[in-house]
Structure 1
Amino acid sequence: MGQVKILSKSATARGHFASCCYFLSTPTGDRDAEHDSRWRRGATSESILRAARYDMPMMLAVIGGDPERFKPFVELYHRASEKLGRPVRAIGVHSTGYVADTDAQAREEFWPEYKRLRDRIGTERGWPPLKRANFDLQADHGSLYVGAPETVARKIVAVVNSLGISRFDMKYSSGTLPHEKLLRSIELYGSKVIPLVRDILG
């Protein structure tokens, strides 16, 4: 897959995001990691084309469903960059997650707060109330990175390999989770998840 460089040895909190930043040996260089404001966020064809047109790295907001369904956007970004005669800039994924000492603990702590937040947003957008079975499905196979460090690391590695991304941002805040639990999640993300991702990717 090429040499991987980890830019941060621990999670860095910016707002409600913790970043696992690693860049492959591509022409983008480290400057894409240093200037976060340059990343184009979104997941529509128009956003992808704008990112390529303005020579910007691209961050995909993958907040539900199988991350694999975003592969067409990655391919469109590659084609658009090639057509413009430019190197492909770094591509990242932004998803929701929560890390605890065990899978069961992470789900039990995260589920009620995530449901409250998801249902509140859902009433504004016409979504049905979230059921626990759907939550578990997203944690097992979708875009919720909820679990023990080993579980979350394996899911991150899977999306890196599937989409060819070079950056993963985890949105770790959801609803009214107690501050100490959020701090523990950040600690585990930085001290265990990121090193595991580094080791697996090699």
Structure 2
Amino acid sequence: MELGIGMFGDLQISANGEVQPAQQRLQEIIEEIKLMDEVGLDFYGIGEHHRPDYAVSAPEIILAAASTVTKNIKLSSAVSVLSSSDPVKLYQSFATIDLLSNGRAELIAGRGSFIESFPLFGFNLQDYDELYEEKLALLLKINNSPKISWKGKFRPELVNQEILPRAVNNHLKIWVAIGGTPESVERAGRLGLPVMFAIIGGQPLQFKPLFDYYKDVYQAYGHDMNKFEVGVHMHSLFGENSQEIADYYYPLYSAQMNRVGRSRGWPPYQLNQFEAGRGKNGALIIGDSNESIDKILAMEDMFGLTRFSAHMDVGGPSHSAMMKSIEIFGTQIAPKVRAALSR
């Protein structure tokens, strides 16, 4: 099982509403990715957002910068909002990162959890499903062949067009991100694409039927089980002392849950939700190394994972807290998880 970190590029926001400069956060992110590589984590993913509380609107720029200061870590979006992107340009950008990084680039395509990119790039939310279906099909066709012809509803026609540059070995690994709908699971299984499930609330066990359904569909369409890949993305932060990291993180985490929740009609986030999430059956991995090892191993056992992604910057923890969490993940948690899985 690969172990890595996902981020959205959350900006730190003070109690009086002062927002961290994006320039500062972007520079911190590069330092954090460099440390991930140094401590031996397997992959890094960065999300795409077009909001004032996030620093990153173009994941490919961050990944290109990271490719020049890292040696081994895989570099991925988490996610690229495919529905409001041009698949041609998206492929070209990630193929370029793949060349810069000697084959370490990946792309995770998703619908996105926010809708700001649709009006920004001139797309109609009424076309939400059709946009994703068509653009995913085009992206996969580009990945499979350097020269294509294409006619769809949402972009100009392509006639015997060569798409350059090409990724290393003429193939870019493309994952799909899933929030939990059976339709998305069925599509991914039918196409034989690796899947990242976002489990950010409730109890992970509730997702087990979707994992089983994905595997069943994948096998039913005759895909090679030796290439079967499935991962989870879970809110995480690691510290030396469980209660200390929880006490530090709760005000930041709850503030971000409330910022997002106000636009979605959620009730105010409560401490009991946080503590339930941190508990044995919850979806938060926020604590010391031993607790985190046990919970990550439980996720692997429950779902048969090939990848675990710790989403580590929700609410904008300080750069020093992030660096410490990355260090603990790479030097204390990852070695023991790998050792347990190798037995």
Partner of 1:55: 192
Alignment of 1:79-158 (within 5 A): 79-88=216-225, 89-140=228-279, 141-158=281-298
| Partner Cα separation in structure 2 for residue 75 and residue 5 of structure 1 | 20
Q: Is the 8 A contact 2:276 2:282 kept in 1?
A: yes
| Partner Cα separation in structure 1 for residue 247 and residue 2 of structure 2 | 34
Q: Is the 8 A contact 2:3 2:309 kept in 1?
A: no
| Partner Cα separation in structure 2 for residue 121 and residue 193 of structure 1 | 30
Q: Gapped runs of 5+ residues in structure 1?
A: 22-32
TM normalised by structure 2 equals: 0.50
Aligned letter for 1:77? Answer: Y
Q: Show structure 1 runs of 4+ deviating over 6 A.
A: 4-9
Q: Deviations over 1:128-156 (max 9, x none)?
A: 11111110010012110000011111100
| Partner Cα separation in structure 1 for residue 203 and residue 317 of structure 2 | 25
TM normalised by structure 1 equals: 0.84
RMSD: 2.3
| Partner Cα separation in structure 2 for residue 171 and residue 5 of structure 1 | 14
Q: Is the 8 A contact 1:10 1:189 kept in 2?
A: no
| Distance apart, 1:99 and its partner CA | 0.2
Count of aligned pairs between the two proteins: 185
Determine which of 25, 39, 46 is the counterpart of 1:15: 46
Partner of 2:208: 71
Partner of 1:26: none
Q: Is the 8 A contact 2:2 2:306 kept in 1?
A: no
| Partner Cα separation in structure 2 for residue 86 and residue 162 of structure 1 | 22
> Between the two proteins, what is the percent identity of the paired residues?
28
Partner of 2:302: 162
Q: Gapped runs of 5+ residues in structure 2?
A: 5-36, 48-72, 75-102, 108-173
Partner of 1:36: 106
Partner of 1:188: 328
| Partner Cα separation in structure 1 for residue 318 and residue 193 of structure 2 | 36
Partner of 2:30: none
| Partner Cα separation in structure 2 for residue 14 and residue 49 of structure 1 | 24
Aligned letter for 1:51? Answer: A
Q: Deviations over 1:80-118 (max 9, x none)?
A: 112211134211000100000011111011111000000
Match of 1:39, SS state, is strand
Match of 2:266, SS state, is coil
Match of 2:260, SS state, is helix
Aligned letter for 1:177? Answer: P
| Partner Cα separation in structure 2 for residue 171 and residue 48 of structure 1 | 21
| Distance apart, 1:199 and its partner CA | 2.0
Determine which of 136, 157, 175 is the counterpart of 2:315: 175
| Distance apart, 1:13 and its partner CA | 4.0
| Partner Cα separation in structure 1 for residue 242 and residue 321 of structure 2 | 14
